[in-house]
């Protein structure tokens, strides 16, 4: 008996040593992300910091051009030939959940993140990734200082109603002698702008685009009708010509930075795009939009880019440790947000004065976004978000804005087609 | 010991083992007086089996000791079994098929690779058309089919015929657009290329070479570059075409964006992509027609002239009938390439304008469903229908334009 007890004690003492040895064994992880210079620089900095703390771990980052990244995920995941850590867009995550490793219970408290940012990573009561950014496509607009001043308008604008915005937009719009619009007053007809604007309008007009148990879309409602009519009103007032300015012609980001749009609805990532691609562009601002209705400026947001762990990774525990390090540690997450020019997903960065100060010192244009984050909610788990947004909501609404179909017909078809995706 | 991706290695072993077995074995069998075709088959079987077994063993045994070398050694696993086969096959004194070793050793690997890399994917696409398959879902044990990627039988094809729902509406619209595109491109292409080829053929050799080169240049130009160039020409605000219209006092048109704009009843955006496509493509047929014209004996034309035929008569009653086999080949090729149009439309209009897509063609629909929305089953069903259309149209063309004579 004594012998057995002795052996068990020895084994119990030896187990942590064996475990530690296993922990310290050299481990190489692969990390896949899409190509975006600032994002990739930020991720490499996180890898360098983590591997400095864990010398036995090597993390090789492999980057893919965006379209190729999607196709690589589609083919490599089924083939099991994927990396250990995947940089996924939050709203896609649940559709890949079958092939991802759920977060070990209790590793990270997900309430540290904004609901909209983490919502896409929560699938059937499991967490399949953690967000690095708050993806905000609605709520703030780019404004061109020179155009506002030339039109004799107050700059920066502080609109309190949609009518005030419309009035400025009409004053800013310019049309050539041949009748074609040359400068859009308010460019809100990009695919993202239309889709997110429509959803925000529904929420701000007191409605919802989900039914009660979130099993179906409800786009054919009074709130949706009112929102679409408000959008049409902007077009009819002359703020924009949606035939000449949309996602495939005079896309908002380019239109703004080539002086073809005075006000443009686009996410804050476009500021970094403008600063890098149009360094000689004059002064511009980034300001908040007024609410569609009298309610709070609610808006729907995607869960943006974050990190997930592949289900077939032989080192899922270490991969999750890195994900936790990169996303839930305030200092690390802030470093990544500053480098990538993105809005933090971690509440602590926004709600702590010091971190918030550091963030705004590096990315001052986010000042307009941060007060709005509390109004953001996750878009909800859609069977195919891209299909609903870009092939259903956007084309129907664009046709309606172009006068090719009625509001009632558009809402009926959007609801019918979107629900057919379930 | 490093972690190896055995799925990937299984594929590598298969391909390398098969290549070694099918290429070298026939040569050795030929030298030994054995049937090289039988050698190719035996080589394939032995090479593949040996590669899988020895390759796996090599990784397992050497992976821990020589992790950098083990994968390379494993790739040559097929040689173990094949070496034994080559050494143990007895020589024969009946050299019935001698000197066919080279043929068997070159043809068999190519047939194998064609079967693996072309025929199998084709069959796979046909199979997918009967499943609601998405690579996002794990599905059943056999190639991911079944389970969460369920069998749907002919449902997709019934849906296409019924036209019910968004997918079917878009498919029918894409099919209609593809047919319209083809029906516009084919006659326009022929109307441009045949007379132009006759004109070029009538010039001296210097100008013939010059024109042939000039007209062929767009064919070797990147389609994306061509699309970008024509996109600028058709740009509503700053395009060359609208600037010309402004100069003469006409109203500019949003060629690529306005869903209501038409030219002779054809949507302006469709007309624009047809023009861009023709500009890039017609040089290909032109070169073929010039070559065909050079093959028509002058004596036939001279005889017609002696009989009092005019230039038009010679063209109408001699040249054109003799070009019929060439017209058949070029029209089949043009129909096939028109059905496969993608890049020019993707860059110029992305299938738009309009919610249903006035220039959305079948390949664009396949691409969007397969690679953007990951609905491989539906995309495969569209591809099958497209394949059938191309096959039927090709058969009809070959029947209609068939000739039973030679000159």
Supply the pLDDT for residue A95: 87
Q: Taking the alpha carbons of B112, B118, B122, B125 in that order, is the dihedral positive or negative?
A: positive
Q: Which residues of B touch A81 (CB under 8 A)?
A: 5, 7-8
Q: A387: which DSSP letter?
A: I
Supply the pLDDT for residue A316: 96
Supply the pLDDT for residue B404: 64
With an 8 Å Cβ cutoff, is A99 touching chain B?
A: yes
With an 8 Å Cβ cutoff, is B237 touching chain A?
A: yes
Residue in chain B lying closest to A384 (CA)? B373
Supply the pLDDT for residue A14: 46
Q: B267: which DSSP letter?
A: E
Burial class (CB in 10 A: 0-12, 13-18, 19+), B151: middle
Mean pLDDT within B230-236:
94
Supply the pLDDT for residue A19: 46
How close, in Å, is residue B355 to chain A by CA atoms? 5
- As beta bridge partners, residue A32 has A62, A86
Is the overall model pTM greater than 0.90, yes or no? Answer: no
Residue A402: strand, helix, or coil = coil
Q: DSSP characters for A140-192?
A: EEEEEHHHHHHTT--SS----SHHHHHHHHHHH-EE-TTS-EEEEEEE--SHH
Supply the CATH classification number for the domain A140-301+382-419: 3.40.190.10
Evaluate if residue B306 carries a pLDDT over 90.
Answer: yes
Residue in chain A lying closest to B355 (CA)? A395
Contact present, A378 and A178 (Cβ < 8 Å): no
Closest residue to B371, CB basis, from A71, A81, A396: A71
Interface list for A 345-404 with B (CB within 8 A): 384, 386-387, 391-392, 395-396, 398-399, 402, 404
Residue in chain B lying closest to A74 (CA)? B135
Q: A352: which DSSP letter?
A: S
Burial class (CB in 10 A: 0-12, 13-18, 19+), A16: exposed
Closest residue to B237, CB basis, from A182, A387, A392: A182
> How far is Cα A20 from Cα A10, in angstroms, rounded to an integer?
16
The band of B16, judged by pLDDT with boundaries at 50, 70 and 90, is very high
Closest CA to A172 of A235, A248, A260, A251: A260
Residue B189: left if φ>0, alpha if ψ -120 to 50, beta else—which one? Answer: alpha
Closest residue to A249, CB basis, from B5, B257, B373: B257
pLDDT in tens, B187-197: 999 999 999 99
CA angle A318, A319, A325 (to 5 degrees): 90
- As beta bridge partners, residue A310 has A100
Mean pLDDT in runs of 10 for chain A (422 residues)?
49 46 76 93 97 96 91 83 94 91 95 96 95 96 96 95 96 92 96 97 96 94 97 97 92 94 94 87 94 89 96 95 96 95 95 95 94 95 91 95 96 95 88
pLDDT in tens, B72-108: 999 999 999 999 999 999 988 765 556 788 899 999 9
Closest residue to A248, CB basis, from B259, B350, B372: B350
Number of residues that this document lists for chain A = 422
CA distances from A3 to A9, A15, A16, A71 (A): 10, 18, 21, 60
**Residue B87 is encoded by which pair of tokens?**
């050494």
Burial class (CB in 10 A: 0-12, 13-18, 19+), B188: middle
Instruction: Choose between B164 and B288: higher pLDDT.
Output: B288
CA distances from A305 to A36, A88, A136, A193, A298 (A): 12, 6, 11, 19, 21
Supply the pLDDT for residue A353: 95
> How far is Cα B112 from Cα A28, in angstroms, rounded to an integer?
36
Supply the pLDDT for residue B253: 92
Supply the pLDDT for residue A74: 81
Chain-chain contact of A404 with B260 (C-beta, under 8 angstroms)? yes
Supply the pLDDT for residue B96: 59
- As beta bridge partners, residue A264 has A142, A187
Chain-chain contact of A81 with B350 (C-beta, under 8 angstroms)? no
pLDDT in tens, B366-394: 999 998 888 999 999 999 999 999 899 88
**Residue A359 is encoded by which pair of tokens?**
């963030």
Mean pLDDT within B224-246:
94
Contact present, B6 and B57 (Cβ < 8 Å): no
Closest CA to B359 of B236, B253, B272: B272
Report the relative pairing of strands A376-378 and A299-301 from DSSP bridges. Answer: parallel
Buried/exposed A316-342: b ≥16 CB within 10 Å, e otherwise = bebbbbbbbbbbbbbebbbbbbbbbbb
Boundaries of CATH 3.40.190.10 in chain A?
26-135+303-377, 140-301+382-419
Chain-chain contact of A81 with B7 (C-beta, under 8 angstroms)? yes
Q: Which CATH number fits domain A26-135+303-377: 3.40.190.10, 3.40.50.300, 3.40.50.10260, 3.30.930.10?
A: 3.40.190.10
Q: Which residues of B touch A405 (CB under 8 A)?
A: 355
Lowest mean pLDDT among A42-46, B267-271, B295-299: B295-299
Supply the CATH classification number for the domain B163-400: 1.10.3720.10
- As beta bridge partners, residue A27 has A57
Look at the block and give the residue holding tokens 């024969």.
B92
Chain-chain contact of B138 with A404 (C-beta, under 8 angstroms)? no
CA distances from A255 to A141, A144, A398, B26, B257 (A): 13, 11, 18, 65, 16
């Amino acid at each position: 008996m004594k012998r057995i007890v002795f052996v068990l004690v020895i084994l119990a003492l030896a187990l942590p040593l064996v475990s530690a040895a296993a922990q310290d064994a050299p481990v190489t992880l692969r990390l896949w992300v899409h190509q975006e210079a600032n994002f990739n620089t930020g991720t490499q900095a996180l890898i360098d910091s983590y591997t400095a703390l864990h010398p036995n771990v090597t993390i090789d980052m492999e980057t893919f051009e965006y379209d190729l990244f999607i196709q690589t995920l589609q083919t490599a995941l089924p083939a099991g030939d994927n990396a250990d850590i995947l940089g996924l867009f939050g709203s896609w995550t649940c559709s890949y959940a079958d092939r991802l490793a759920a977060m070990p219970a209790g590793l990270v408290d997900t309430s540290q993140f904004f609901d909209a940012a983490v919502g896409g990573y929560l699938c059937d009561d499991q967490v399949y990734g953690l967000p690095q950014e708050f993806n905000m496509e609605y709520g703030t607009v780019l404004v061109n200082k020179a155009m506002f001043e030339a039109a004799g308008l107050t700059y920066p604008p502080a609109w309190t109603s949609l009518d005030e915005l419309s009035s400025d937009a009409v004053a800013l719009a310019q049309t050539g002698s041949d009748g074609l619009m040359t400068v859009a007053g308010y460019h809100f007809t990009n695919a993202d702008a239309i889709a997110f604007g429509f959803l925000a309008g529904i929420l701000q007009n007191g409605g919802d685009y989900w039914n009660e148990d979130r099993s179906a879309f409800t786009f054919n409602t009074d709130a949706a009708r009112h929102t679409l009519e408000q959008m049409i009103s902007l077009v009819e007032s002359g703020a924009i010509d949606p035939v000449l300015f949309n996602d495939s012609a005079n896309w908002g980001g380019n239109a703004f930075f080539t002086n073809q749009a005075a006000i443009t609805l686009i996410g804050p990532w476009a500021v970094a795009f403008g600063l890098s691609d149009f360094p000689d562009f004059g002064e511009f601002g980034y300001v908040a939009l007024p609410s569609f209705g009298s309610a709070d400026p609610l808006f729907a947001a995607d869960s943006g880019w974050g990190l997930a762990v592949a289900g077939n990774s032989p080192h899922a525990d270490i991969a999750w440790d890195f994900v936790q390090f990169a996303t839930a540690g305030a200092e690390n997450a802030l470093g990544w947000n500053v480098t990538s020019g993105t809005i933090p997903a971690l509440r602590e960065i926004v709600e702590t004065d010091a971190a918030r100060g550091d963030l705004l010192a590096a990315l001052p244009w986010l000042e307009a976004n941060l007060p709005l984050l509390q109004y953001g909610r996750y878009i909800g788990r859609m069977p195919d978000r891209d299909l609903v947004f870009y092939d259903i909501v956007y084309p129907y609404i664009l046709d309606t804005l172009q006068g090719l179909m009625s509001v009632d017909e558009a809402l009926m078809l959007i609801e019918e087609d979107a629900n057919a995706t379930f | 010991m490093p972690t190896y991706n055995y799925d990937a290695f299984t594929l590598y072993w298969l391909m390398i083992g098969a290549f070694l077995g099918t290429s070298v074995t026939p040569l050795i069998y030929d030298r030994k007086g054995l049937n090289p075709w039988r050698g190719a088959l035996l080589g394939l079987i032995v090479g593949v089996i040996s590669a899988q077994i020895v390759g796996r063993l090599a990784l397992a045994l050497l992976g821990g000791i020589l992790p950098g070398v083990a994968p390379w050694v494993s790739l040559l696993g097929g040689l173990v079994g094949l070496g034994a086969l080559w050494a143990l096959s007895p020589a024969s004194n009946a050299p019935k098929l001698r000197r066919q070793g080279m043929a068997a050793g070159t043809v068999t690997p190519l047939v194998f690779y064609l079967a693996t890399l072309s025929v199998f994917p084709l069959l796979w696409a046909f199979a997918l058309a009967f499943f609601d398959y998405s690579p996002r879902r794990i599905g059943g044990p056999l190639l991911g089919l079944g389970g969460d990627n369920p069998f749907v039988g002919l449902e997709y094809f019934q849906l296409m015929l019924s036209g019910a729902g968004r997918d079917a509406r878009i498919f029918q619209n894409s099919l209609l657009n593809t047919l319209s595109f083809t029906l516009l491109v084919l006659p326009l292409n022929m109307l441009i290329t045949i007379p132009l080829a006759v004109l070029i053929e009538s010039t001296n050799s210097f100008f013939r070479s010059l024109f042939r080169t000039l007209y062929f240049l767009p064919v070797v130009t990147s389609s994306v570059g061509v699309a970008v160039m024509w996109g600028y020409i058709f740009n509503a605000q700053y395009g060359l075409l609208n600037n010309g219209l402004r100069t003469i006092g006409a109203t500019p048109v949003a060629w690529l964006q306005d869903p209501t704009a038409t030219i002779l009843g054809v949507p302006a955006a469709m007309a624009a992509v047809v023009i861009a496509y023709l500009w890039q493509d017609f040089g290909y047929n032109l070169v073929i027609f010039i070559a065909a014209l050079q093959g028509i004996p002058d004596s036939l034309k001279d005889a017609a002239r002696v009989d009092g035929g005019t230039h038009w008569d010679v063209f109408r009653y001699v040249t054109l009938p003799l070009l019929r086999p060439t017209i058949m080949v070029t029209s089949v090729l043009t129909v096939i390439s028109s059905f496969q149009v993608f890049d020019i439309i993707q860059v110029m209009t992305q299938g738009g304008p309009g919610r249903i897509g006035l220039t959305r063609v079948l390949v664009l629909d396949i691409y969007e469903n397969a690679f953007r929305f990951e609905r491989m089953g539906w995309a495969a069903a569209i591809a099958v229908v497209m394949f059938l259309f191309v096959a039927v149209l090709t058969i009809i063309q070959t029947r209609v334009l068939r000739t039973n004579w030679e000159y």
